[in-house]
Chains A and B, each alone.
Chain A
Amino acid sequence: MAEITYREALNQALREEMERDPDVFLMGEEVAEYDGAYKVSKGLLDLFGDRRVVDSPISELGFAGLGVGAAMAGLKPVIEFMTFNFSILALDQVINHAAKIRYMSGGQIPCPIVFRGPNGAALQLSAQHSQACETYYVHAPGVKVVTPATPADAKGLLKAAIRDPDPVAFMEGELLYNVKGEVPDDDDFVIPLGVAEVKQEGDDVTILTHGKMVHVALQAARTLAKDGVKAEVVDLRTIRPLDVETILGSVRKTNRAVYVEEGWGYAGVGAQIVSLVQDEAFDWLDAPVVRVTQADVPMPYAKNLEQLAKPSADRVVAACNRVLYR
């Protein structure tokens, strides 16, 4: 085991996968000579050269499409979006092409592409630079969506995502890049997609979550524990495919569930999970399933307003108390 940052974990995963498979290449804005806008690709240009680590023009739709075309022709592109906010420009290539090429061609043409980058809010980046984009990627069938919260998950899941024969949206977080955690030293540490992880066990209430809100959930769990309430924190890790067994297993155990996500509520990931839980575990529930999300407004700039807008550990505690009728 080694303690490394989430950023280093991603860097290792990229390096290992590029060493392992000569068809893997990284393309995006500032990924090569700048070492990556968030330094995730630091050192890769020196190791692999500019054929495999490629600085693109600011043309999200164009280079996402170029990546899709390269994947159709047999390569394994990793397309970096500087942030997923900018990926909205590229959504035609993701939704109308990457997601559908295999199906429309009757299974003939593959699309083994990874779209990765930071997703969601950071600090005071304002409305256009703070969006959680999971819904846009998970809604149309054809794209797998991964949201690692810890360094170990980041490494293991990125390796799996790059090897996956389907398009994968791999959503990181600027505020996660410096998070430290234990990562196995294995030669080939891979975590399969579609497997959730119970980050914290408990019997009283289930907090379901993904991405950077895992840390908010764990903080809420610590607060609740002081009062003797044992929350179970389930990290989805993958949004599609979904580890339904682990999710429902936890709800059947605790009989109460709260979903916390950093994005907006309407048609957010949590909305889907609530539907799942009430549909398939209704008889185990002792309370409604409640969600904690961002305030239903564009992200404001002012420090105090941004704090108000974001989900907080306090709000998660309040939601848990609500379903516990405390």
Chain B
Amino acid sequence: MAETKTKTVDDDAKTEAAGGLRGIDPETALRLMREMLLYRRFEEKAEEAYAIGKIGGFCHLHIGQEAAAAGSILALDEGDYVISAYREHTQALAKGMEPGAVMAELFGRATGCSKGKGGSMHLFDADRRFMGGHGIVGAQVPLASGIGWKIRYREEDHVVLCFMGDAAVNQGAFHEALNMSTVWNLPVIYVVENNEYGMGTAFSRVSRTEIHEKACAYGIPTSIVDGQDVLETYTAFRELAGETRGDGGPRFVDLRTYRFKGHSMSDPVSGTYRSREEVEGKVKNADPIAKLRDVLLESGDLDRESLEAMDAEARETAQEAFDFADESPWPDDASLYSDVYAELGRGRMFFDGRERPGGAD
């Protein structure tokens, strides 16, 4: 197992003169590269695992959107919260969760971060403040407002990063949550990972206004960020986190990105609602890893050899995660009934007429 990496960014990090790295110090840029490589190789490994039946149900891969995860989450402080929808494996990794624990959760094993009870769409880590992993489109948006409410209530200095897809902006919950966030000045950065498609439906077919216009009714300052450019993303989110922290209030981001694979493992990569040309064009010209690679090779902060070594390490970590998951035990039968409730107390809680392994009523 690879060692846990520190996800906090040094506030005193020196900045290089403006240039290819856009004022980001080389150490951070290299960290971003390592992260994105990890996410890419992890997702590819998950794809393999799904194809051979190790992962069941839904599996929504983030391949192509690595910069959106790395650039935004690594810009946060450790005590900040992240909450997301169901394309969140890489976001969990970005928040510092162990690749083995994430893969084991995808495999449904007892060693999974959610003890095998959640699966791909329900990754959680309370200590690291990764608040899920949610399957109902848009429902995480008011949850994010609630976490922001707690921060405000306790007069803390954290922020909440709330991810959602482009299609989520049409849910009522989105509008209600954004409205409340301005009424109460909540420290939440609402981020739309705008990959132009809600499952199989182009966003332009379900809205007559653009994503970046959606929050103006609530008066929330909005940014448009190129989510395929990890350095731009990182810079933008450092600024946004700084603005939001304390009294800054909510922010809204149209984070433009692109999904290289299908909506889920059941969806073809292209040829249905996205043409092969469109997808291949993006893979060729808009790969966030290739973009950063080119910048770093040009600036001399990375050479081919080191890049190979980084990639090899990423592949190794992904393989180790796979092996760990594959060798892990299944949850035991008694866990079917555990954690439905925090406290069983008095009276009957379960009404299925079954004997619960290890328990009474």
Contacts and interface: CB of A to CB of B under 8 A. Distances in A.
| Residue among B81, B134, B176, B177 facing the most chain A CB atoms (10 A cut-off) | B176
Contact of B145 (A66, A75, A96, A101): A66
Contacts of B340: 102-103, 141-142
Contacts of A265: none
Given A66-B149, A74-B150, A108 B114 contact: yes
A244 B150 contact: no
B155 to A, nearest CB: 10
Contacts of A107: 115, 338-339
Given A73-B146, A103-B340, A241 B345 contact: yes
16 contacts: A62-B177, A63-B142, A65-B142, A65-B177, A66-B145, A66-B180, A69-B83, A72-B147, A73-B147, A93-B173, A102-B340, A103-B117, A105-B124, A106-B118, A243-B346, A244-B361
B361 to A, nearest CB: 7
Interface residues of B, number: 57
Given A25-B153, A62-B142, A73-B150, 10 more contacts: A57-B183, A65-B145, A66-B146, A92-B173, A97-B136, A105-B124, A107-B339, A142-B340, A142-B341, A242-B351
Contacts, number: 185
Interface in B118-162: 118, 122, 124-126, 131-136, 139, 141-151, 153-154
B300 interface: no
Given A56-B180, A59-B180, A63-B176, A104 B114 contact: yes
B353 interface: yes
Interface of A: 25, 51, 56-57, 59, 61-75, 77, 92-93, 96-97, 101-110, 112, 141-142, 144, 164-166, 192-195, 238, 240-244, 272, 276, 279
Interface of B: 81, 83, 112-118, 122, 124-126, 131-136, 139, 141-151, 153-154, 172-173, 175-177, 179-180, 183, 338-351, 353, 361
B347 A70 contact: no
A71 B361 CA distance: 27
A69 B153 CA distance: 13
B139 A65 contact: yes
B132 A101 contact: yes
Contacts of B118: 104-106
A108 B132 CA distance: 11
Contacts of B126: 105, 108-109
